[in-house]
Amino acid sequence: MPIEKTAICPMHSVMQALGGKWKFAILYSLRDGAPKRFTILQREIVGITARMLIKELKSLEEHQLISRKAYPTVPPAVEYKLTAYGKTIVPLVNDLDVWGRKHAARMGKKGKS
């Protein structure tokens, strides 16, 4: 059965909120519940550019999965953390982590790639 763009489909909603290369990596980084600064997220998510991290953080914030807190300092400090709603996805992120490790081992790869 084809999925139409106008159809109300749970998977379409999931893909809007979580689709893309980096969103799960961001959620994985924030899953422990501790707030993290932008620079820490950028350091932990290998390969992401600052521009892409900003874009993905804004999208996750629009979907109410993360919150952003700016501090009036020079230079400005910004922290991100999971919202209460965002914490509901942590079990899924953890399950995907387990599956990803098993898949990497099955495919003959090492580490958390």
Between residues 83 and 11, the one the model is more confident about: 83
Q: pLDDT above 70 covers what percent of the chain?
A: 88
Domain span at residue 65 reads: 10-106
pLDDT tens digits, 43-52: 999 999 999 9
What DSSP designation does 82 have? Answer: E
Query: What's the pLDDT at 7?
Result: 56
Q: How many domains are contained in the chain? A: 1
Q: What is the mean pLDDT of residues 84-95?
A: 96
Output the domain CATH number for residue 44: 1.10.10.10
Question: What are the percentages of helix, strand and coil residues in the chain, rounded to 5?
Answer: 50, 10, 35
59 lies in some domain: yes
